[in-house]
Structure 1
Amino acid sequence: MRINKIELFHVKIPLNFMFKTSKTAIDHRETIIIKITDELQNKGYGEVVAFTEPFYTNETLIDSKYVLIYNYIPNLIHKDIKHPFDIHKWIKPSYPMTLAALENALVDLYAKREKQSIMDVVFNEEINDDIYGGIVLGDQDVQELIKQIDHYKKEGYIRFKIKIKPEDGVLKLKAIREKYTNIQLLADANKSYKIEQIDELKKLDKLNLLCIEEPLDSVDFLEYQSLQKELQTSICLDESIQTINDLVTAIKLKAFKVLNIKVGRVGGLYYVKKMIELCRESNIEYWVGSMVESGISKILHVHLASLKDTYIPGDLSSSNRYFKRDIIKPEIIAKNGIIKIPKGYGLGVDIDETLLKNYTIDYEKIGGE
């Protein structure tokens, strides 16, 4: 396929609520939507899920825009690409979220040309037709958390991830577990505990959690190794694993038991596939997370969560939980807590071009007429 035109839509989408973690609070989401057009006028879409501030990883949206305009796109425009994964031969994952967005748009485009789904192109294995959704609840007081769990339980959700911090994380989780003995419950500390607080973390073992995600404010896998030896609860790594080498090291050290995979964080579907294969070989559980992201990136995670051997389906819920209107058509809908996997070519959804333009605060076009 020959790349004729690449467009960048820097969008700002209002959130329906203030989303809080131990590290940040946001009431809108800025991302960059990439639209790639080939010589046959087929179109593919990807999304840069970097944030405007480096609280999750060091990569920011400003970095992404600069790298796309002055490095990645000039090396791609008007060139013939046999397969989307070929770009990994000449682009190193120094800016993984930027690279992932470009690759994802190319995979969407390629799959449409080949009249296949994303999963056929990348995995070509049996998948589920639907998945259970999951709710992520930010750092709030326990009364508000219980109120929201009650609300989403009525919508059919059975799994909840709670953002926690050392000051009150265990107390919140204990109160939730005492009220809801049967829900699937996990915690995400976003690297907020010190290794010296191991006794506090060990209290989580009594709460029957699926896992605790990124507990330690550390980049040292040896500290995670020490913690996992002391915990019955499985440690889940997310932002600590950004490369294949990170994953290999963490596996060798037995620093964790579960991996949260996010396409943007690891540099694209090419690396996602390699990490899943490594997890399968090493008896590491894996599951598919998500970012605060538009449907263009979220629906990709919905597809990945349909793999048969995921530990839990994913941090995936209806589009209207986060946005009044999402960019994709149809939007993601969890009916009785269950999300259907799209069956169309590529991402399997259409893009609301009018809404995309309405959300756009900056626009760049490279190539084309």
Structure 2
Amino acid sequence: MTLFIEKIKLHHLKMSLNDPFSTSFGTFQEKEFFITEMIDGSGKRGFGESVAFTSPWYSEETVQTNLHIMTDFLIPILKNNEIHHPDEVFDLFHPIRRNNMAKAALEGAVWDLYAKQKNISLAEALGGKRKAIDVGISLGIEPTVNDLLRKIEHYVQEGYKRIKIKIKPGYDVDVLKEVRCVFPETKLMADANSSYTLNDIDHLRKLDDLDLMMIEQPLAHDDIIDHAKLQAAMTTPICLDESIHSLEDARKAIELGSCKIINIKIGRVGGLTESIRIHDYCKEKGIDVWCGGMLEAGVGRAHNIALTTLSQFTLPGDTAGSSRYWKKDIIEPEVVVENGVINVPTKPGIGYEVDEEALEEFTLSTKEFNI
């Protein structure tokens, strides 16, 4: 079966978050991104979403570099090659180094279109079995500890399965101690976004007393060596995020003992195909994985849900409900969390319909490419 893609559209959107979201990188109030759309000869439409930010805080990629790479390199590759299965897209894109978020934005739309052509859900196309997934919530750095405690209380009452708290030097151990005192039984994790060095090892070891699920990416964004030294000195599991861009990165980190958990983000690793490969390797090695979030709108959120149906996603991910971030999302129905659980949609493809009015409302511009 050949995926006959006749047209590709790149919709450039800007949406405003309900509340500012602060990390050690900075504070976000608006999110710009691309919705990628692929249309076949029968009118079926597959959708993907880019996750890069406007500035290169999280990685070297940005919204504008995504546009450049997709337009000038990746779409011509799709135009000049016949595709029978979405797995082939990862290999076709391989000669283009890095730029994983640009690759994932297009590859995701191919996967969605493929699933719709096969009349199966995206989760089923990926090999997922779960009918529902457990999810947690990610909370940014708040102005005061009391503000943070109020938010945690709200989401604990809503039933989220774990709480992730962003930390940075000066906003870490003491804050988490207060949180743990108020919420002694809640599953907590800390996300450092590469804010520390090995010089902070004695300070970070204080986290071992707080019964955290994990500390995510405490050291440099491109490091696996120092993380191995830190993990050997701590009982709290280290989870790697920014350091893992490929199956090969995951293999090296696991062999070195750099982590006990890996966060798989579709955009960071270059798409769903590589996400599955990393998942399968981690399952073989007994490494827990979970699906991280990048402040996605509904399309990207739907891709995360489908991926999380794979068996080694043993820990709650960051895929909160649409209303956590957006007053209005671009899909119908919006993603809803009930008691910390999202029911996996069963309709073909991502399982949600794109809200055409919302898409038009938030779109700044659209580029079309005939394939």
Q: Fold match, TM over 0.5?
A: yes
Q: CA deviation at 1:309?
A: 3.2
Aligned AA (1:134): G
CA displacement, residues 292-330 of structure 1 (integer Å, 9 cap, x when unaligned): 111100111112222333231211211011000001111
Residue 297 of structure 1 aligns with which residue? 300
- Secondary structure at 1:90 match in 2: helix
Distance in 1 separating the partners of 2:79 and 2:299: 22
C-alpha contact 2:77 2:93 (8 A) present in aligned 1: no
Residue 143 of structure 1 pairs with residue 146 of structure 2: yes
Residue 95 of structure 1 pairs with residue 104 of structure 2: no
Residue 116 of structure 1 pairs with residue 102 of structure 2: no
Aligned AA (1:317): A
Residue 246 of structure 2 aligns with which residue? 243
Matched ranges for 1:185-204 at <5 A = 185-204=188-207
**Candidates 104, 110, 117, aligned match of 1:106:** 110
Aligned AA (2:20): M
Matched ranges for 1:155-304 at <5 A = 155-217=158-220, 219-304=222-307
Which shows bigger deviation, 79-88 or 179-188? 79-88
Residue 53 of structure 1 aligns with which residue? 55
Distance in 2 separating the partners of 1:101 and 1:235: 28
Residue 71 of structure 2 aligns with which residue? 69
Q: CA deviation at 1:218?
A: 5.4
C-alpha contact 2:262 2:289 (8 A) present in aligned 1: yes
Distance in 1 separating the partners of 2:211 and 2:53: 32
Distance in 2 separating the partners of 1:322 and 1:231: 34
Distance in 2 separating the partners of 1:168 and 1:95: 32
Q: Runs in 1 of length 4+ with deviation above 4 angstroms?
A: none
- Root-mean-square deviation (CA, aligned residues, Å) is 1.4
Matched ranges for 1:2-81 at <5 A = 2-77=4-79, 80-81=82-83
Aligned positions, number: 366
Q: CA deviation at 1:87?
A: 1.9
C-alpha contact 2:272 2:307 (8 A) present in aligned 1: no
Q: CA deviation at 1:88?
A: 2.2
C-alpha contact 1:35 1:46 (8 A) present in aligned 2: yes
Share of identical aligned residues, percent? 39
Distance in 1 separating the partners of 2:273 and 2:78: 18
**Candidates 319, 323, 326, aligned match of 1:323:** 326
Residue 354 of structure 1 aligns with which residue? 357
Q: CA deviation at 1:217?
A: 2.8
Which shows bigger deviation, 16-25 or 282-291? 282-291
Closer, same or farther: CA 218–333 of 1 in aligned 2, 3 Å: closer
Q: CA deviation at 1:107?
A: 0.6
Aligned AA (1:88): F
Q: CA deviation at 1:288?
A: 1.1
C-alpha contact 2:193 2:221 (8 A) present in aligned 1: no
Aligned AA (1:106): V
C-alpha contact 1:45 1:106 (8 A) present in aligned 2: yes
- Secondary structure at 1:335 match in 2: coil
CA displacement, residues 248-303 of structure 1 (integer Å, 9 cap, x when unaligned): 11111111100000101000111011101110111211111111111100111112
Residue 84 of structure 1 pairs with residue 95 of structure 2: no
Distance in 1 separating the partners of 2:89 and 2:307: 21
Unaligned stretches of 5+ residues in structure 2: none
- Secondary structure at 1:27 match in 2: strand
CA displacement, residues 1-40 of structure 1 (integer Å, 9 cap, x when unaligned): 2111111111000100000001111101111000100111
Distance in 2 separating the partners of 1:83 and 1:310: 24
Distance in 1 separating the partners of 2:222 and 2:112: 34
C-alpha contact 2:126 2:306 (8 A) present in aligned 1: no
Q: CA deviation at 1:78?
A: 7.6
C-alpha contact 2:196 2:220 (8 A) present in aligned 1: yes
Aligned AA (1:67): I
- Secondary structure at 2:79 match in 1: coil
TM-score by length of 2: 0.96
- Secondary structure at 1:86 match in 2: helix
Closer, same or farther: CA 117–217 of 1 in aligned 2, 3 Å: same
Aligned AA (1:129): K
Unaligned stretches of 5+ residues in structure 1: none
Q: CA deviation at 1:55?
A: 0.7
Residue 341 of structure 2 aligns with which residue? 338
